[in-house]
Amino acid sequence: MNTVSIYRVNGVLLLALLSVIILYYGRIFLIPMTFGILLAMLMLPVSRKLESWGIGRVWSVWLCILLILVVLTGGVMLISTQLNNFLSDLPQIQQKVQQLIDTLQQWVQARFGVVPERQISMVKKSVGQLGQSTSNSIKSAFFGTIGGIATAALVLVYIFFLLWKREKYEKFFLKLSREENRGQVCDVLHQSIQVASEYLGGRLISMLALAILYVIGFLVVGLKNALLLALIAVIPTIIPYLGPVIGGFFPLAMALTSGDPGLAISVLIVLVVAQTVDNYFIEPFVLGSNLHLSPFVTIISIIIGEMLWGIAGMILFIPIVAVLKIFFDHIPYLHPYAYLLGEEGESDGSPGWIDKVKSWFGK
C-alpha cells in the first residue's frame, strides 16, 4: 500500500499558507487586477467581433471600455432617478415607520413590562454611543468613495492593456511550458477564458431577468417604488446563495412599513417565486453548471473570499476556484484536487428540457 509522503503534505500546506498570505496582504493590488482580468475575458468576444468588422484593435478595445462605462453610468442614473422618487415619499414612509415603532413599543411593554419611556432612553443611549464614531464613519465613507473611483479607473486601465496585448500574454504562458505541452497549455487558457466569461455573462443576464421579474411582481402587488426596490434587491444576487437573502430584505422591510400584512406576504411570495424561476429556469439556461464546482465548494469559496477580500472576494473567488479546477484537471498529480472541487460525475445538472433547448441553439 502506497503511503502519502509527509514532504508532499508539508509542501501542499506550505503552499496553501503562502497563498493565503499573498492573497490577504496583496489584496489592494490583486482585487482590481482580478476584476480587470475577468472583465477583459468577458469583453474578449465583443472585441473580437468588432475586429472582424474591420475595426482596429485599439478602437475595438476603447469601444469595449465605453460599453462598460455606458452600462455603469446608465445603472447609476436609473438608480438616482428612482431614488429621487423614493425621497419624495420619505415623509409618508417616516410616518408609517413611526406607527410601526409605536406598535412595537406597545408589544414590548405588554411582553416584557418595559415602558415606552424606558425603551426610548435605552435607544438614545445606544444611538449616543454610535454617534461618537459618526464623524469617523463619514470620513471613511468619503475616502472610500474616492478609493472606489480610483480602483474603477485602475480596472479600466487593466482591461485596456489586457485586451490590447492579449496575444503577448498568451505567448508568455506558452514560453513557460515545454514544446510538447504547449497544446495543452492553449487548451487550459481557452477553457479558463470561456468559463470566466460565460460565468460573468450568465450571471449578468440572470440578474437582468430577475430584475424584470421583481419589477413585474412588485407592480402587480402594488408595492411603491417598484423599480428602485427591484434594483436594490437584484444587485446583491451577484453573490450566490447569500445575495438573494440580503437583496430581498429591503423590499420586504418597505412592505412591512406600509402597515399592510397582506402586502408584506405578497412581496415575500414575489421574492420566492422569482428566485425559483431564476434558479430552475433562467440560470440553468444562461449559466448551467459551466463552472463544474460542487455546491459545498462554492459556499466555501464565498466564505474564504469574504474573509480575505471582503465583498469583492465573495464575487471573485467562485470563478477563481473554477479556473483553478481547470488547471488541476490538466495536471495528472493534481487530479484528486480537481475531483474534490468538482461535481460528482461532472454532469451538467440542468433539467432535460434545458439540454434540448440548448441543442437547438447549438450550445
pLDDT digits (tens, 9 = 90+) for 296-310: 888 888 889 989 998
- When the pLDDT of each residue in the chain is averaged and rounded to a whole number, the result is 78
125-134, 173-182, 348-357, range with the lowest pLDDT: 125-134
This prediction's pTM: 0.74
Residue 87 reports pLDDT greater than 70: no
Q: How confident is the model at residue 348 (pLDDT cuts 50, 70, 90)?
A: very low
pLDDT at 127: 43
- Neighbouring C-beta atoms of residue 288, cutoff 10 Å: 19
pLDDT at 105: 65
Q: Where do the structural domains in the chain lie, given as residue ranges?
A: 26-105+145-164, 184-363
Q: How confident is the model at residue 60 (pLDDT cuts 50, 70, 90)?
A: very high
Mean pLDDT of 158-166: 91
Cell numbers at residue 338, please?
Answer: 480537481
Q: How confident is the model at residue 269 (pLDDT cuts 50, 70, 90)?
A: very high
Residue carrying the nine cell digits 468613495:
145
49-63, 102-116, 209-223, range with the lowest pLDDT: 102-116
Residue 168 reports pLDDT greater than 50: yes
Given a contact cutoff of 8 angstroms between Cβ atoms, the answer to whether 293 and 318 are in contact is yes
Q: How confident is the model at residue 329 (pLDDT cuts 50, 70, 90)?
A: confident
Cell numbers at residue 42, please?
Answer: 468577458
Mean pLDDT of 258-287: 81
Mean pLDDT of 83-92: 63
Whole-Å CA distances, 130 to 44, 127, 171, 270:
47, 5, 55, 35
pLDDT at 362: 45
Residue 141 reports pLDDT greater than 50: no
Mention every residue, 6+ apart, whose C-beta is less than 8 A from residue 264.
Answer: 252, 255, 256, 258
pLDDT at 109: 63
